[in-house]
Amino acid sequence: MGNRRPLIAGNWKMFKTSEEAAATAKEIVRLVLDVKNTDVLISPPFTSISLVREIIRESSVLLAAQNLYWEKEGAFTGEISPAMLVSAGCTHVIIGHSERRAYFGETDETVNKKINAAILNNLIPIFCVGESDEDRELNKTFSVLDKQVENGLKGLALTDAADIVLAYEPVWAIGTGKTATGDQAQEVHAYLRGLLEKKYGAFFADSLRILYGGSVNLNNIASLMEMPDIDGALIGGASLDPGTFSKIASFK
């Protein structure tokens, strides 16, 4: 077993105005003061990143963006570069979330470019993979994950597991209230760790943090975190309320 520090990450998606984001971040900073030995991260919309950064500056709360564009700069209206995220205070960036794949045309290829750009700019990508309902029913879970991992990490010579976080997010569990059971998620996490071991070796795989995401809430966090290969959670809906999120962050 690796000595992996848990990571509890809140993905705010397209929720919260700047005022709401500031108020939420303030509450979170206060409420997670007692959370020790766990990394706590929040991912506000682009418009609130700088503001939230000022609020969490003196705290241990980490900051992520929800997306980036891989080019350094240029005429790409509406896009945000890795360097812009770094200068706005982000240390992490969520890449390849299934909502981006489903609604905004992201493919394994664009995900790969984004992961590459993040790493080159010292941003830690939280790389999301996950099968759909249909994939699971057709017993294609592992082959779909193989492809997502293989293509998403293509050409990346990773040596330090601290440079990346993997998130297993079964599409059928996101925002649906249907969570994978601890055993279901554990089976996939162990499989993913095995895949990364083949690619980057045992030490890397053993140190890599793999988060579970999909309808994580106060009732299921403990049973998920009990699993040996689940190192944390990526939380959507239940991360919007600071009280709930901070309780999830102290799952023990």
Instruction: Give residues with Cβ within 8 angstroms of 161, minimum separation 6.
Output: 200, 203, 204, 205, 206, 207, 208, 209
CB 82 within 8 A of CB 73: no
Q: Which stretch binds ligand PGA (CB under 6 A): 67-75, 84-92, 141-149, 169-177?
A: 169-177
**Opening angle at CA 153, ends 151 and 155, nearest 5:** 95
Residue 93 found at the interface with ligand PGA (CB under 6 A) = no
Cα separation, 185 vs 226, in Å, equals 11
Closest chain position to ligand PGA (CB): 236
Q: Site for ligand PGA (CB under 6 A): which residue of 164, 235, 248, 249?
A: 235
Residue 175 found at the interface with ligand PGA (CB under 6 A) = yes
Respond yes or no: is residue 54 known to be catalytic: no
Q: How many residues bind ligand PGA (CB under 6 A)?
A: 13
Residue 215 found at the interface with ligand PGA (CB under 6 A) = yes
Q: Which is nearer to ligand PGA, 67 or 81 (CB)?
A: 67
Residue 213 found at the interface with ligand PGA (CB under 6 A) = yes
Please, which of residues 101-160 interact with ligand PGA by CB under 6 A?
A: none
3-state helix, strand, coil in the chain (%, to 5): 45, 15, 40
Cα separation, 131 vs 144, in Å, equals 6
Q: Parallel, antiparallel, or unpaired: how do β-strands 124-129 and 209-213 relate?
A: unpaired
Respond yes or no: is residue 197 known to be catalytic: no
Residues that bind ligand PGA (CB under 6 A): 11, 169, 174-175, 213-216, 234-238
Catalytic residue numbers read: 97, 169
